[in-house]
Every structure is written in C-alpha cells, then in structure tokens.
Structure 1
Amino acid sequence: MADVVQIQLQTESAANKWGKATLTPTGSGFQIHLNAADALRSVQKAGRSLDGLGLTQVQLSGDNWTLELQWAFYQGFCSAKKQGGVQFCGDSALTTQLAQLAQCFDWAKQLINQTPDELYPEQLAKQATAFITDIAAKGTVNSHILLDQQLLQQGWNGLHAVGRGSARKPAMLVLDYNPTGNAAAPVSAALVGKGITFDSGGYSIKATESMLAMKCDMGGAATVTAALALAILQGLDKRVQLILCCAENLISSNAYKLGDIITYKNGTTVEIVNTDAEGRLVLADGLMCAAESGAGLIIDAATLTGAAMTAVGGEYNALFALDKTLAQKALAYAEQVQEPTWQLPLELWHQQQCPSAYADTANSRPVKGGGAGGASNAAGFLSRFVPNAGKGWLHFDLAAAFNNSNNAYWAAGATGQGIRTISAALLGEA
C-alpha cells in the first residue's frame, strides 16, 4: 500500500461494542483497542497484526500515544524486510526521542539480520566504527582495529584461537569516544561485545536447525554499539571505550580443537572441552582490554548461552553480576525502559564449575549445553577476567536478542532488546 494509513489508539473499554477484537477499521485506517491490563504487549501485538496485513506506511495519530506505547507499536510493526514505516506523533521532544530510538535499533537489527557472507569480522568492526563516527561530534572518536597476527602480538590469544580457522580473520575493535576535549580524561565506562559473525560450533559442530540462525551471534557487538550511539544522542558527556571481539567460528585444518589449551594475557590457562563455547573465550580478551582502560564501569553483552534462553525464555534478557548493588540498579534501568530482564545466580565459586585436569579451568563442561547452571558457569568463567573482584561489572546474556521465527509480538530476526537498558546504565552510572 502506498497510502499512509492512520492508526488511532482507543483507551476506553470497547468490549461491549467490539468483543475481543484488538483492531477495528476506521474511515482513514485502523483503531487499536488498548488492553489496559497488558497495554504495551497489546499494542505491540496490534502492530504485528497490521504488518501482517501488508501495510508499509502508517501514521500514529490522536492524543493517547505515549512514548512507550508508540515504541511498542514500532517494535511489533517492523520486520527484517521492513525497517521503519512508522510516523510518530506528539511534540517535537517526544518525536525526537522516538527517532533516536528508531535510528539506533534499525542499525543494530539490520546488522544482526545481515547474512554471514556479507558481514565478516573486519567488516563488523568497520561498520560499528562508521556508525559511531557518524553520530558523534567531529573529533570525539578515535579507533583502531587489530587483525589476525596483531591480536597475538597484543596477547589477545582467545579471540585469535576462535577465529583462526576462517580465511576471514578475527578482529578486535577498540574505539574511544571522548567528548571531554581532554586527551587525559579518565575512561568512565567500557562496553564489550561478542561479535561472532557466524558460529558453526567448530569441531563441536551444531546441528542444522541450531546453526541456521547463527548469523545473530554478533548480536552482543551490535547491541553495545547501538547502546553507545543512543547514549551519545541522549547527551553522554563521559569518555567511553567500545571493544568488539569479532570472529567466525569455523572448521578447517587451522581451527582450534578440543583439548587445546589457551594461555590468556593474565596467565589463566583454559582447556577447550567444547569449541561451541567460543563466546566466553573471545569476551575474556575483551574484558581484559576493558580492564586495561581503567574504566570503573564495564558492561559486556553477548548471545552467549542456550542455557539462558532455557531459563528465562525469549522475552527476557539474563543479567549476571558479582556487584549486587550495581545489579539492582541495572534491573531498575531495564524496568524503566520496559526491557524485561532477570538476574540469574553468579558467585565467585562459579569460577570453579568447569574444572580441568590440565589447565586452570575448562571453557565449559563436556556435556550437552554445558550441564546444569550453564549460563551461570559461563558468567563465572568471564568473572576470572574482570578487575576488582567484579565490582562495577555487568554481564548481559541476550536471550531476547533474536527470534528464529515470527510470533504474535515479534517478527523473525533481531529485536534490539538490551540496547535501551545498557544505554540507560551507561548514562546513569558512567
């Protein structure tokens, strides 16, 4: 449809007139009947229904559209084939906020939905750099990309090991956003993202149905990049470092193998018992790089474990932290921006949950899915590589970042869930 369809929101009960209908036609478009008991989800579901009718351009109209209701509609209406198409309503401050959200979410979702042939490690690093540079004020961004052997020269052995099996070599992006005008300003926060542009599982190879969606395994990198961009648009005035750990996890004669031992820059030795537990191996390097910046706040994000999805489902992201006070703040930020997030257990003893007879730790347990408590054990592994006994560190396992298929609330593909939470934490804690 080429015409712009008007979408109004009816907040009073229409049950007597329309029964259980969520949508009814009007002379200029459609009216959504709000379910006050579940307002955001009912509006998001209506957005999905309207997308299913083949609408391409809609105008939200009327006085009942808050920021969160408009954003819920947008999330439901958009799909991998159609980003945008929603004209927001309200005053200029409101529509500006919504446009900023759309800009950052659209970029992240488009990136995650790219095919693995289009998006490879170096390309991911370059696209993230270009996006932040375009959004930030001139002269506030400096970055460099370490490729292949340069990683070994800097001691980033985990990232290199995971990515060395691909002809398209691993890369680490280190981007410095410094709006202070002071080259000696301290780094207030560091963001670390898992950027596995395709995950075959390596020699612990995935089944076809599990591997099909693994273009999304760089969702953590896209999420933290978009979160930084959103914070910049919303006035971030502190120095922040962005670190993306980018690789393809493939099988070849040069790929890392079961039984290999990786020695990390901090001296920790790691036995490989599952090559499909690669995300934690690359994040370990990113977290140590973040620690070198001296940042008081370190946030990492990754599509890390199937165990997190089993625990919280596809509507929630999982949060882990040794810093319990910071975790409660992060949960409050998530609630404030309407991104469902649930804290799962993490204690220092989780570091010992993947024992090895040959190294300080294994990268998992040699059982399907990493065994009981797999998401917490992965977080425990990561906690070996953060400073200050985990004070100031948050780990997001992005169970809600991607849907393999359409459902009543989300189109298939990337969702962007986690961007607003991390951006809010960055603005509130950096």
Structure 2
Amino acid sequence: MQIMTVALTQDAPQSLWGKASVTYQGNQALIHLTDSDVLRQVQMAARKIRAQGVTSVQLEGELWNIDSQWAFSQGFTTARGEFEVRWCGDEATQTTLTHRFEAASFARMLVNETPEELSPVVLANHAANWLKAIGGDNVSYEIVEGQELLEKQWIGLHAVGRGSERPPAMLVLDFNPLGDDAPVSTALVGKGITFDSGGYSIKPSVGMLDMKCDMGGAATVTAALGLAMKAGLNKRVKLFLCCAENLISGHAYKLGDILTYKNGVTVEVVNTDAEGRLVLADGLQAASDTGAELIIDAATLTGAAVMAVGDNYNAIFSPQTETLQRVQQKAADVSENVWPLPLNEWHKDMCPSPFADTANSRAMKGGGAGGASNAAGFLWRFVTPGMNWLHMDLAAAYSSSDSALWSAGATGHGVLTIAALLEE
C-alpha cells in the first residue's frame, strides 16, 4: 500500500497553487505554514488531506514536533473508515504520541458507539476492562447496579436511570500501584449518560440526535487515567463513573419529585433534562469519601457552557483559584483549550426551591442566565467543604457535524489535560 508523506514547510506555495495551504508533489503533501496559530493551521490542513480520500500518511521532516503531530492526527481522524498516521521524531516522541492516540481512540470509540450497543452496564464494563488490561493487578473494581444503588444510597443515579429497562450503574475503580492503604492522590468522576432523551422534559429530535455523546465525561476521565497509567503513573487514583439512560416510562422520575441524597441535601426536580448533575452528585460524594487531594469531575453538562466558550474550549470551574491556574497551565502544556467561568458561593443558591434545599435547575430554557455556573454551584453542594475540586464542562468533547477542525463525532478534547494533572 502506498503511503502519502506529509511535511511542513515555511515556503510559500508555487505560483500555480495560488494561496493554497496544502499542495501536492507526487506522493507528498506539503503544508505551507503561514498562520501564527500553527497548530490550528496544521489541524485544518489535515482535514483537507483526509477529505481528498487519503487514508494513510507518514509525517516527515524536521519542522514537526509533538504538538503539531498531535494536531495533525486530530484533524485526520474520522468516525468512519480505517486510517493511519505514522509519527516521526525520536522514540520517546513516537511512544508518547502512540499512547495518546490509543487513549483518545478509546474515548472516541465509546462516545461514537450507538446508544443501543452502549448500555450503562456495558459502558462500566468497557471502562473497567480497558483499564484492567493496562494496569493489571494494580486495578480493582466493582460495578454497583440497579436496586443495589438504593441500598448504597446513590439516590440520583438510581432516580435518573430507573426509567430504562437497562439498569443504571456506578463503576468504582481503584488504581493503586503503591499497595496497602496508600492515600488517594486524585478521585475522578465521569458523567455516563449513555442516552439522554431529556426524560419528561423531552428534547426535540434535533437536540436528541447526538445524545449518545452524553457519556463523554465518563469516556474522558477513563481515557485520561489509562493514558497516565501508560506513562507510568505511580499514584493511587480512584475512578467513579455514573452511568444511566435517561428515558421515559412508567418508572421514570418526574418533575416535582424530591430526592434526598446521602449527605442529607434535598433536591426538587424541576427539569428531568438536567439529569447530569443529579448523577454526578452521587459520584462527587463518593469521591469526597476517599479523602483525595484533588477531585476532578468531567461532564457534557450544559449547553450554556458551549454558548459561553464555544466548541473548541472546555469550561472549567473551581473554588480554588490556584487550581484553575494549574489546569490552565497543564492544558497549555498539551495544547488543549480550557477557560474558567465564574463560581462563587452564592451560585449554590441560584436554583431555589420552595419545597427542598435546592432545585436541580431553574424552570426556564437552558436553566436561565449563568446556567453553567449555576450547575457548578449545584455540584459544589456535594463536595466535602475544603476539598480541592475541579469541574470540567466538556463543551469541546463532541462535534455534531464536520467542521474545519474536526470530523463529526467525538473529539477526545480534554483527555490530555486531565492526564497531565494526574501525572503531575
């Protein structure tokens, strides 16, 4: 099979190509670097090359570095069809890129899977089996499902998932390379809604079509942990995936229901489509119980985050300013995009209820003004006071259609940032 080589050049294209960003010479493609944002230009060029029907490329030349090669692979990746990117550079660079690609591909595979094939328990098992294959005896886990969730007082997860014939589940996984009762460095929590109809607050078809991606948080934190493990992570990490289908049936939870959580907080359901925060509330309580130095949750949580930062950034929230600064630096180190949005103590009270301590949203489109911050404020109620906590609203985890940067489907954006935080 003939493979196209791809090189970077700072030379302008020959006159017959005009101002083209990509030109071809036989079986070689040249990406002409003219933009100050090199990584964006490389990713867009990769999309153009892939759109020409090219399926296998070898990157070559001295101008490639780890970031530009990764940007190329992001643009070259598609949800359908086999493809191959061969790296260049020294062995360490190629190994790092291979590990990144394996982890991101696992996340994309989960997110792009059909909701029929990826039930909550199947999602939990896929994540556990993949991490077990990487970590071996350092990985142990249990999957709590169905009625057993009620016995363990995971109220939100059970409520959201009980409308489906396929039971909700929580994956509780422990990666412990240190042995004995080592302290937990980081606790990861992922939203794993394998399909979100909106429940009785039903979505329109156009809004429901992509809701197989609503387990993007679970895929992201799982892939990040796997990537860190591949890089030699030597810290104890616990992972909690909150997996459910949000469907309509005679068993489904309803508007006006009041949920009493394990920590005593009561929540009135005013929008069954604000289900992600209800399941994450359980995961955050479980994560808090570990005493971890840092809790990270990731979720495709709000459309408000997309409206605020667009679909090429992930929104981040934390009560600790130094944590936000640390995350921004780690994201920059791996060339991913994050942006902090407001989170103050009073955001906890922005979804008031006359019947409970709080409502799960506000009874208006999108949860009203500041919806992403209000959702973060709701989650904050379920983190033990004083604990170091990061909430990542994954606005950039999924592309609903082809764009200049991404093919339609999962992007994996956020995996590298979280992995970098784990490896620190």
The normalised TM-score by structure 1 is 0.97
Aligned structure 1 segments of 4 or more residues deviating by more than 2 angstroms: 11-19
Q: Which amino acid aligns with 1:372?
A: A
In structure 1, C-alpha distance between the alignment counterparts of 2:81 and 2:4, rounded to whole Å:
16
1:281 has 2:278 as partner: yes
| Mapped partners of 2:417, 2:258: distance in 1 | 36
**1:425 aligned residue:** 421
1:164 aligns with 2:165: no
1:395 aligns with 2:396: no
Q: 5 Å matches for 1:289-300?
A: 289-300=286-297
Q: Which amino acid aligns with 1:255?
A: A
Decide whether the 8 Å contact of 1:319 with 1:395 is kept in 2. Answer: yes
Give the 3-state SS of the residue equivalent to 1:111 in structure 2. Answer: helix
| Residue in structure 1 matching 2:301, options 301, 304, 319 | 304
Report the alpha carbon displacement of residue 366 of structure 1 after superposing the two structures with TM: 0.3
What is the CA–CA distance in structure 2 between the aligned matches of 1:96 and 1:282, rounded to whole Å?
Answer: 36
3-state SS of paired residue (2:242): strand
2:191·2:241 contact (CA, 8 Å) conserved in 1?
yes
| Aligned residues of 1:355 and 1:362 also touching (Cα < 8 A) | yes
Partner of 1:406: 402
Letter in 1 for 2:396: A
Shift, 1:12, TM fit: 3.6
Deviations along 1:153-211, one digit per CA (max 9) or x if unpaired, are 0010000000000000100000000011x221111110000000000000000000000
Counterpart contact for 1:11–1:36, Cα < 8 Å: no
* Alignment check: 8 A CA contact 1:190 1:240 kept: yes
Please give the alpha-carbon distance, in whole angstroms, between the structure 1 residues aligned to 2:26 and 2:379. 57
2: CA distance, partners of 1:279 / 1:393: 17
What is the aligned partner in structure 2 of residue 271 from structure 1? 268
Residue 339 of structure 1: how far off its partner (Å): 0.8
1:209 partner amino acid: V
Deviations 1:72-92 (A, max 9, x none): 000000100146411111111
2: CA distance, partners of 1:119 / 1:126 = 10
The CA deviation string for residues 206-234 of structure 1, in whole angstroms up to 9 with x for no partner, is 00000000000000000000000111111
Match of 1:26 in 2: 25
Task: Tell me if 1:123 matches 2:119.
Answer: no
Taking the aligned partners of 1:377 and 1:83, their CA distance within structure 2 comes to 42
TM superposition shift of 1:128 = 0.2
Unaligned runs of 5+ in 2: none
Partner of 1:40: 39
| Deviations, residues 261-301 of structure 1 (Å, cap 9, x unaligned) | 00000000000000000000000000000011111110000
- How far is 1:27 from its partner? 2.3
* Matched residue type, 1:55: V
Match of 1:354 in 2: 351
* Count of matched residue positions in the alignment of Structure 1 and Structure 2: 424
Q: CA-to-partner distance for each residue in 1:375-405, whole Å, 9 max, x for gaps? A: 000000000000134x410000000000110
Q: Deviations for 1:13-34, whole angstroms, at most 9, x for unmatched residues?
A: 4486743211111122211111
Corresponding residue of 2:253: 256
SS in 1 for 2:137: coil
Match for 1:61: what amino acid?
E
CA distance in structure 1 between the aligned counterparts of 2:83 and 2:13, rounded to whole angstroms:
29
Structure 1 position 384 matched with structure 2 position 381: yes
> Tell me, what secondary structure is at the counterpart of 2:5?
strand
Preserved contact between residue 55 and residue 82 of structure 2 (Cα < 8 Å): no
Choose which of 298, 308, 313 in structure 2 pairs with 1:316: 313
- The alignment-based identity, stated in percent, is 57
Give distance in 1, aligned partners of 2:83 and 2:236.
31
Q: CA deviation at 1:245?
A: 0.1
Tell me how far apart the structure 1 counterparts of residues 58 and 13 of structure 2 sit (CA, whole Å).
22
User: Relative to structure 2, which stretch is displaced further, 189-198 or 289-298?
Assistant: 289-298
- The separation in 1 between residues aligned to 2:261 and 2:10, in whole angstroms, is 57
What CA distance in whole angstroms lies between the structure 2 residues aligned with 1:308 and 1:342? 10
1:244 pairs with 2:241: yes
SS of alignment partner, residue 199 of structure 2: coil
Distance 1:224 1:394 in 2: 12
Name the SS for the 2:395 alignment partner. Answer: coil
Q: Which moved more, 1:11-20 or 1:28-37?
A: 11-20
| Distance in structure 2 (CA, Å) of the matches to 1:299 and 1:273 | 26
Return the alpha-carbon distance in structure 2 between the equivalents of residues 23 and 168 of structure 1. 49
Tell me the equivalent position of 1:76.
Answer: 75
Contact 1:83–1:106 under 8 Å retained in 2: no
TM-score normalised per structure 2: 0.98
Distance 1:4 1:46 in 2: 17
Mapped partners of 2:312, 2:243: distance in 1: 26
Q: Which residue number in structure 1 is paired with residue 140 of structure 2?
A: 142
The answer as to whether partners of 1:151 and 1:160 remain within 8 angstroms in 2 is yes
> Separation in 1 of the partners of 2:195 and 2:118?
9
- The answer to whether residue 340 in structure 2 is matched with residue 340 in structure 1 is no
Give the gaps of 5 or more residues in structure 1. none
Pairing 1:155–2:141 present: no
In structure 2, what is the Cα distance between the partners aligned to 1:73 and 1:304? 28
Aligned to 1:204: 201
